[in-house]
Structure 1
């Protein structure tokens, strides 16, 4: 009698004496058909029955992947089937496997792509946008750290800078 192929194996020719193991990066959903490559964004190592989508924030380099790739800091991986995208100016990713870069908080900025953190707006400057360098407060005004505007000095006070 003939025996059916076990899970993760296949036999596509008549008269085979054994079943072939399904190679990693492919899935064998029907034992009488050729292995099917995992789609971009999916992977299958040898222990898995079928191709699985990569977790959010990870990606694959191509089809037939046996593992998901890490999305590096300073990048976002919005989809599992495309390469990491550098964080834009005014955004950052401080952790690996980030699906979407975060916008700098109010009073912080970064003027570089691929940032892993935002810089605090310094005292005596204001930062109206997270995408531009700090601007010096005009004479007669002041600011503390992390400000988006400068404040006018009260009567009887001055700011020399």
Structure 2
């Protein structure tokens, strides 16, 4: 057969990546089209055949390139499917997927870009890796992930963005997976804080709190960055939580936790130890006032009694002034006074 006679000469013309054989001196390439944006690495367009790849020494009259995802087999003289995942894209050979792309199946004709939040920094990848916590990726086909900037964090893998640290927390480095709570005596008033600021005098914050708190009434704190406040000591008073306790005046009272001195009422009271006592003038006034009150009560009683007698006299007056009828009883006028007869 002519095919066997010219096999040796045709083998030199059919290069690697082609299936070779011809039965005539004028081979014809049938049904060929240009591949879409497919190159061999040197930016030279390759020609893909729309016919079934591969041929035999008996019935093939053309040399055809192996389609993408397949390679030339020297033993069978046929195009064989790429046996491993991650090998695809270029015709005539099984080439590795580039960085940022992957292919989980064998014999495919294109690579897939990594999704947002995923990346691959090696060639021939069959899958993409998720961005670790503290990093992010918001583009497809990435070969690396970006680190979260100081003041931001990402706590979940495959993050597409970083979140700002909330108030009361901070992150002073890149790639933070979590923000740290400001330690005791410090705070962060804004989001995305890189550091914490100490509490001002007159304020405090425990490690469990997120913001500095004003000292309660009767307490003070004159230093920066404190976790608690001190009670105003005895014999002192603290009008403001951010000032040093003030010594109590000698004529005033200042128990522990006082915000202002307490005074006895002037003129009527005076300080005696820890209490207020009546002044002499107050005692004299009380005595005089008591005497006046007693005299007033006596006068009221006498007046009430006099009024009662007057009312009684008024009630008897009609009875005493009533006229008796004229006449004689036993020879004596009715209105005559009785005379003792000596009986």
TM-score > 0.5 by shorter chain:
yes
Q: Aligned partners of 1:56, 1:65: CA distance in 2, in Å?
A: 16
- Structure 2 counterparts to residues 73-84 of structure 1, below 5 A: 73-79=184-190, 80-84=192-196
Find the partner of 1:68 among 169, 179, 186. Answer: 179
1:159 is displaced (CA, Å) by 5.2
What do residues 46-77 of structure 1 show as CA deviations (whole Å, max 9, x unaligned)? Answer: 53523222232111012221221221111112
Q: CA contact under 8 A between 2:153 and 2:164: conserved in structure 1?
A: yes
Structure 2: unaligned runs, 5 residues or longer = 1-109, 275-343
Find the partner of 1:22 among 121, 131, 143. Answer: 131
TM-score by length of 2: 0.41
- Residue 86 (structure 2) pairs with residue 86 (structure 1): no
1:118 is displaced (CA, Å) by 1.3
Change in CA separation of 1:152 and 1:4 when aligned onto 2, cut-off 3 Å:
same
Find the partner of 1:114 among 213, 225, 228. Answer: 225
Following TM superposition, the consecutive aligned residue runs of length 4 or more in structure 1 with deviations greater than 4 angstroms are none
Change in CA separation of 1:53 and 1:141 when aligned onto 2, cut-off 3 Å:
same
TM-score by length of 1: 0.81
Q: CA contact under 8 A between 1:106 and 1:148: conserved in structure 2?
A: yes
By relative contact order (CA 8 Å, sep 6+), the higher-ranking structure is 1
- Counterpart in 1 of 2:151? 41
- Counterpart in 1 of 2:270? 157
Q: CA contact under 8 A between 1:61 and 1:83: conserved in structure 2?
A: yes
- Counterpart in 2 of 1:5? 114
Structure 1: unaligned runs, 5 residues or longer = none
- Residue 216 (structure 2) pairs with residue 105 (structure 1): yes
Larger Cα Rg: Structure 1 or Structure 2? Answer: 2
Greater helix proportion? 2
Q: CA RMSD in A?
A: 2.6
1:23 is displaced (CA, Å) by 3.7
Q: Aligned partners of 1:105, 1:145: CA distance in 2, in Å?
A: 14
Change in CA separation of 1:47 and 1:36 when aligned onto 2, cut-off 3 Å:
closer
Change in CA separation of 1:48 and 1:22 when aligned onto 2, cut-off 3 Å:
closer
Match of 1:157, SS? strand
